[in-house]
Amino acid sequence: MTSAQPTVLVTGGAGYIGSHACKALAAAGYLPVALDSLVYGHEWAVQWGPLEQGDILDRAWLDRILQQYRPAAIMHFAAFAYVGESVTNPGKYYRNNVAGTLTLLEAMRDNGVGRFVFSSTCATYGIPDTVPIVESTIQQPINPYGASKLMVERMLADFEAAHALRWIALRYFNAAGADPHNMIGEAHDPETHLIPLALDAAAGRGPALTVFGDDYNTRDGTCIRDYIHVTDLAQAHVLALTALERGEASQPINLGNGAGFTVREVIAAVERVTGLSVPHTIGPRRAGDPPSLISDAERARTTLGWRPAYADLDQIIATAWAWHQRRM
């Protein structure tokens, strides 16, 4: 480690988005140090810097890591993120996502680390009155997962007022795809995301896909979501860090492509990319599923200079399919 290579601690750095962020950080000249409990992360995903295994609720461990690496900033991805589980086991989510982040922020405060890029979510908006969603849209989360992320955003503002913490909270929409070089990709257990479930169904690796509701007020009756490639997400985190370094104000920023696709359109795209049919059935609506979630990402463009490189749905799915085949 040299002085010319600033260190960034990446909590959840062995996870899906965190590992892609580590790759982007390394390409930008940083040394990414992945902090991960490996409860959901994967050791094979840590390829661009050291892995430190531990829990963000462990203050003594955090102090030791911060004193060892003296990071320029922290990127915080470590969180539990299963919406359904957050409803049935809210304590797990408030303990890890809220109390864990509070422990991290207090360790940063006491060890002189002043820049923070936070992995937030469009789930903080709940069911929006209008789409596309702008950053000033009222935040009314409808599940403990979204509420836990909103609470962290509140803590960031309070820590800035009290301790001069500088932060950017990236509220992203549906992360999808895999590293275009096929080195890392999505590997959740259980898997709940539409595109990998559709790929599993097409390849015969998983059961038929269930479409949750086909009677929404959308163009084909199925839910509309804004899909953003995980590499574009990772690049936005690096741009957020450089924005803080040049003195940009602390703020929330939406990340999405600004285009929505229905579940049926995603299925059709998977069939185009793979040349396979996606067996699927229609199930009942899931409680709390908004009909449409589409981002307005103008602030990401103007403040960060961010432009998605993988905005085409077929292109996103093609990278996911390449990774899916490698894992098979």
**Residues known to be catalytic:** 145
Among 108, 227, 97, 112, which residue's Cα sits nearest to residue 153? 97
| Amino acid in position 238 | V
Tell me how far apart the alpha carbons of residues 36 and 43 are, in angstroms, rounded to a whole number: 9
Contact 279, 205 (CB under 8 A): no
HEC string for the chain: CCCCCCEEEEECCCCHHHHHHHHHHHHCCCEEEEEECCCCCCHHHCCCCCEEECCCCCHHHHHHHHHHHCCCEEEECCCCCCHHHHHHCHHHHHHHHHHHHHHHHHHHHHHCCCEEEEEEEHHHHCCCCCCCECCCCCCCCCCHHHHHHHHHHHHHHHHHHHHCCEEEEEEECEEECCCCCCCCCCCCCCCCCHHHHHHHHHHCCCCCEEEECCCCCCCCCCCEECEEEHHHHHHHHHHHHHHHHCCCCCEEEEECCCCCEEHHHHHHHHHHHHCCCCCEEEECCCCCCCCEECECCHHHHHHHCCCCCCCCHHHHHHHHHHHHHHHC
Burial class of residue 160 (count of CB atoms within 10 Å of its CB; 0-12, 13-18, 19+): middle
Phi-psi region of 213 (alpha: psi -120 to 50; beta: other; left: phi over 0): left
